[in-house]
Amino acid sequence: MNIIYLFRSQEQKLYSVERVFHSIIPQIAKGADVEEQYMPRYRARPDSILENLKFAKRLNGDVIHITGDVYYAALSTPSDKTIVTVLDLVSLENSSGLKRAIIKLLWYKWPLKKCKYITCISEKTKQELLGVFPNLANKTFVVECPVSEEYDFSPKNFNNQHPVILQIGTKDNKNLIRLVEALDGIDCELRIVGKLKDEQIQALEQHSVEYTNVYHITDAEMVEQYRNCDMLAFVSTYEGFGVPIIEAQATGRPVITSNIEPMVSVAGEGAVLVNPLDVSDIRRGILRIINDKKLREGIVNAGKQNALRFSTEAIANKYYTLYEKVIQSEGSKV
């Protein structure tokens, strides 16, 4: 069995999707030949899209797995060999008019209708997708994101006098400004992974929040961010899954996250849940973790157990079963 994983262009210097699949590829490679391919262009312009489609057309494998973002590549790959992973519908929901119509057709409707199978990274994403395209129900499956084996349990004494609070991501849905407002007056260091926008820097300065900032870091450096922090703040307003939750849980760090799906299902019992739109509720949740040792220990232990649901082996097995279904359906035609 030959599996080709098709990723978006490396020029984007975005790594979330790549981290998800790079963690399971070693498991898949135990039973199949694996090949990674990256799109040559990243801009959503007609010339870039056409070049990417030409590139995808040349791919030749038993299974071609489009890992996210560039769903339209399925228009060029063999329909009976192609699997598309849908991460979320945020690009569709955040657009309107002609732009929305183009995204709906070119990124979702046409390629998803053409491909063999679709995987969604959470039940929430699946239900959102089927809410727009109900005719895709019979070929859509949920396969969650894995937590890489690099994120091993690393106990750390919690610094309740000056905790390091880790924030992953700076896009609008990551809700950084509300988190900053919630930290006003709390003695801590906010460690932010992701390039800051001007308005976010202004908010940090306005609320006198001590912070450090890194971006474009390696996978190994990301692991160190979790090991060196005291807790994770992940009060996002929208996610397809929420990988940082299980990465922090696997590392042994207390988590505060949003009381909305899919974060509730992903976190299990291993997090303090808060209303991401309520600054005072975010603040209360952070202070509970800082001040309540018994609570911290409870959610760390629960988080450690919860992260086992998303082991690389468990998630790889789900994908491998789907790849076998593609091969079997091909064989039945011979």
For residue range 43-81, list pLDDT tens digits in order. 889 999 999 999 999 999 999 999 988 999 999 999 999
Is 152 inside a domain boundary? no
Is 154 inside a domain boundary? no
DSSP codes joined into one string, 237-296 = S--SS-HHHHHHHHHT--EEEESSTTHHHHHTTSSEEE-TT-HHHHHHHHHHHHH-HHHH
Torsion on CA atoms 251, 266, 121, 214, rounded to nearest 10:
-40
Is 157 inside a domain boundary? no
Q: Which helix (H) or strand (E) holds 114?
A: helix 110-114
Is 153 inside a domain boundary? no
Q: Give yes or no: residues 177 and 42 share one domain.
A: no
- Structural domain boundaries, residue 319: 2-146+312-331
Is 151 inside a domain boundary? no
Distances (CA, A) of 4 to 15, 36, 132, 204: 18, 6, 28, 43
Is 83 inside a domain boundary? yes
Q: Give yes or no: residues 220 and 235 share one domain.
A: yes
Q: How many domains does the chain have?
A: 2
- Compute the distance between CA of residue 6 and CA of residue 21 in angstroms, rounded to an integer: 10
What pLDDT does residue 256 have? 98
pTM of the complete model: 0.84
Is 15 inside a domain boundary? yes
Contact 243, 263 (CB under 8 A): no
Q: Give yes or no: residues 7 and 124 share one domain.
A: yes
Q: If you search the block for the tokens 């040349």, which residue do you land on?
A: 58
CATH code (residue 19): 3.40.50.2000
Q: What is the pLDDT of residues 274-300, one digit of tens each?
A: 999 999 999 999 999 999 999 999 999
